[in-house]
Amino acid sequence: MYTKISDSVCCIGTDDLALDLFESQYPVPSGMSYNSYLIVDEKVAVLDTSDAREGAQWLANLEEALCGRVPDYLVVHHLEPDHSAMIAAAMDRYPSLTVVCTQIAARMLPQFFEDENFEGRCMVVGEGDSLELGSHSLRFFMAPMVHWPEVMVSWMPEERLLFSADAFGTFGAVQPSGSPFCRDLGPWKDEAARYYFNICGKYGAQVGKLLDKLGDLEVELICPLHGPMLTDVAQAVRLYRLWSSYEPENDSVLVAYASIHGGTARLALRLAEMLEKRGASVVLRDLSRCDVSYAVSDAFRCRRTVLAASSYDAGVFPPMHDFLWHLQIKSWQNRQVAVVQNGSWSPTAGRAICDMLAAMKNVEQKGETLTIRSRMHAADLPALEALADAVLS
Ligand code: FEO
């Protein structure tokens, strides 16, 4: 099965509906797509392959779309195995196939395919190089660390297509959504954000550089390696500009809590009520019960964050530690944070949280750390009200 984009270009990607964890860490309740594209002209170019889990389906899609033609080129935009697993199989099936990739990718290929002989089978391309296919061409732009060092994207000027590798991707399988094209990111936006902040969040500067580089190109359709093809290019670029700048997307307050026996959770819910009474939009996350990737995405999108946690083993309850560690490695920054700790004998969560925040860039604490003992008591409410004021100040 394949999706026609034009008379010469189609998507031969696959959907993986049985996958539980993408990259063995991100839940994908709606599955995952591994996109791949085919250009048929005087020369035939395959753009990327598939994850091995859907390798057989990808080969079947490719054969069907080729209609008897033989591919000349396999363009490797990104070498991560969710896109490259079928490179050796394609090379074996089509002995005249030339792999087109960056210098770094050429160096890394044997690491993944030690039994394959790449001698004379690779064409290395660099910034601004073109691959002529007949009446169509691809121009390459290097995109290091979006999201590996060997990544490149390509632009087809004749049809104004941007093959964007991991950039502009999303979690979720494509076919069950009803259309492989997406005009309005609306239904995909939350999963596109969760994908962006968890996969590329650390690399905002590199994403910004890529956007600068592509700014003058005429693009009518973005063809990413995951998720639907995007027809509203301006909206997608606007979102990526915002997300890669580490600026918040909205004025909401994320209240993220890690509670052992419910005392801290009750406080978090009460604080959320107080914030809402003051007109704030609140996102509540129980860090013990949601996957951390959702909370990471919320923290990037919300302007303010409240961290409420129990003390544990002379530190902070592990779900909060894990959340903050993820924020730290994703370079979360430029945010305002309030801290609440709970401790029945010697509260230690606040110090542990503040030590982790101190390792982040431009994260400012609003108000003093609020301490409760075992449960929230009536005497704590004035301080909680004051903290709600401080959060929104
Ligand atoms: Fe979709 Fe970085 O691989």
Is the model's pLDDT at 241 over the cut of 80?
Answer: yes
The pLDDT of residue 295 is: 98
The arithmetic mean of pLDDT across residues 337-360, rounded, is 97
Nearest to 123 by CA among 57, 66, 43, 54: 43
Per-residue model confidence as pLDDT tens digits over 277-302: 999 999 999 999 999 999 999 999 99
**How confident is the model at residue 185, as a pLDDT?**
81
pLDDT band at 182 (very low <50, low <70, confident <90, very high): confident
Is 90 exceeded by the pLDDT of residue 169? yes
78 CB near ligand 1 (under 6 Å): yes
> Does residue 173 register a pLDDT over 90?
yes
State whether the beta carbon of 28 lies less than 6 angstroms from ligand 1: no
Q: Indicate the average pLDDT of the chain.
A: 97
Residue 194, H or E segment: helix 189-195
CA 171 to chain centre: 8
Q: Which pLDDT score, from 0 to 100, does residue 177 have? A: 80
Average pLDDT of the segment spanning 158-162: 98
373-378: average pLDDT: 97
Out of 73-77, 123-127, 364-368, which region has the weakest mean confidence (pLDDT)? Answer: 364-368
- What are 77-91's pLDDT values in tens digits? 999 999 999 999 999
83 lines ligand 1 (CB under 6 A): yes
pLDDT band at 147 (very low <50, low <70, confident <90, very high): confident
What residue's CA is closest to ligand 1, atom 1?
A: 166
In contact, 91 and 32? CB cutoff 8 Å: no
Q: Is 80 exceeded by the pLDDT of residue 167? A: yes
Torsion angle, CA of 325/328/332/336, rounded to 10 degrees?
A: 70
Contact at 8 Å (CB) between 315 and 348? yes
Q: CB of 165 within 8 A of CB of 224?
A: yes
Token digits for 152? 């490149």
What pLDDT sits at residue 236? 95
**Banded pLDDT at 178 (limits 50, 70, 90):** confident
pLDDT at 199 over 90: yes
> In the prediction, which pLDDT does 330 show?
97
SS3 of residue 53 by DSSP: helix
In percent, the amount of the chain with pLDDT more than 70 equals: 100
Q: Is the CB of 147 under 6 A from ligand 1?
A: yes
Q: Residues 170, 360, 195, CA angle at the centre, nearest 5°?
A: 5
Which pLDDT belongs to residue 30?
Answer: 95
Q: With residue 341 as reference, give the H or E element that holds it.
A: strand 333-342
How far away, in angstroms, is 293 Cα from ligand 1 center?
16
Task: List 55's β-bridge partners, or say none.
Answer: none
Is 90 exceeded by the pLDDT of residue 186?
Answer: no
What spacing in Å lies between the alpha carbon of 29 and ligand 1's midpoint?
18
pLDDT-based confidence at residue 184 (cuts at 50, 70, 90): confident
* Residue 278 Cα distances to 271, 294, 348, 378, 390, angstroms: 11, 25, 30, 20, 12
What pLDDT sits at residue 183? 78
Distance from the alpha carbon of residue 227 to the mean position of ligand 1, in angstroms:
12
Name the residue at shortest CA distance from atom 3 of ligand 1: 80
Parallel, antiparallel or unpaired: strands 250-258 and 302-312: parallel
Distance 194 CA to ligand 1 centre (A): 14
Instruction: Check whether 235 has a pLDDT greater than 80.
Output: yes
CA of 8 to the centre of ligand 1 (A): 26
Give residue 69's pLDDT band: very low, low, confident or very high (50, 70, 90).
Answer: very high
Q: Answer whether 16 contacts ligand 1 (Cβ < 6 A).
A: no
Angstrom distance (rounded) from CA 267 to CA 309: 10
Query: Which pLDDT value is given to residue 137?
Result: 98
- Based on DSSP, count helices (H) and strands (E) in the chain, helices before strands: 12, 25
What distance, in Å, lies between the first and last C-alpha atoms of the chain?
55
Residue 187 banded pLDDT, cuts 50, 70, 90: confident
- Give the pLDDT mean for 300-329: 98
What pTM was computed for the model?
Answer: 0.96
Non-local (6+) Cβ contacts of 325 within 8 A are 356
Residue 175, pLDDT score = 86
